[in-house]
Amino acid sequence: MSPPFWERPLETLDAQEWEALCDGCGRCCLHKLEDEDTGEIVHTWLACRLLDCDTGRCSDYANRTRRVPDCLQVNIGTVAEYEWLPPTCAYRLRFLGEALPDWHPLISGDPETVRTAKVSVAGRVVREDEAPDLPLIDFVVDWPGQWPRAARPAARRGPAKPS
- Note down pLDDT in tens along the chain; length 163 residues: 889 999 999 999 999 999 999 999 999 999 999 999 999 999 999 999 999 999 999 999 999 999 999 998 899 999 999 988 999 999 999 999 999 999 999 999 999 999 999 999 999 999 999 999 999 999 999 999 899 876 666 554 433 333 3
Per-residue model confidence (pLDDT) at position 7: 96
Beta bridge partners of 126: 46
In a domain, 100, yes or no: yes
Residue 154: the pLDDT is 56
The pLDDT, as a whole number, for residue 153 is: 64
Q: Is 115 among the domain residues?
A: yes
With contact defined as beta carbons under 8 Å apart, do 79 and 72 qualify? Answer: no
What pLDDT, on the 0 to 100 scale, is given for residue 42? 93
Residue 67 located in a structural domain: yes
In this structure, the number of other CB atoms found within 10 A of the CB of residue 28 comes to 21
Q: What is the pLDDT of residue 113?
A: 95
- Can you say whether the dihedral through the CA atoms of 145, 150, 152, 157 is positive or negative? positive
Q: What is the distance between the alpha carbons of residues 53 and 151, in angstroms, rounded to a whole number?
A: 20
**Residue 113 placed within a domain:** yes
**Distance from C-alpha of 157 to C-alpha of 18, rounded to nearest angstrom:** 28
What is the greatest pairwise CA distance in the chain? Answer: 56
- Write out the residue range of the structural domain in which residue 62 sits: 5-145
Q: 119-130: buried (b, 16+ CB within 10 Å) or exposed (e) per residue? A: bbbbebbebbee
Q: How many domains does the chain have?
A: 1
**Residue 91 falls inside a structural domain:** yes
* Distance of alpha carbon 155 from alpha carbon 160, whole angstroms: 11
Asked if residue 158 belongs to a domain, the reply is no
Within a domain: residue 129?
A: yes
Strand residue runs (E) in 16-152: 30-34, 41-47, 51-52, 57-58, 126-127, 140-141
Asked whether residue 9 is domain-assigned, the answer is yes
d(CA 68, CA 59): 12
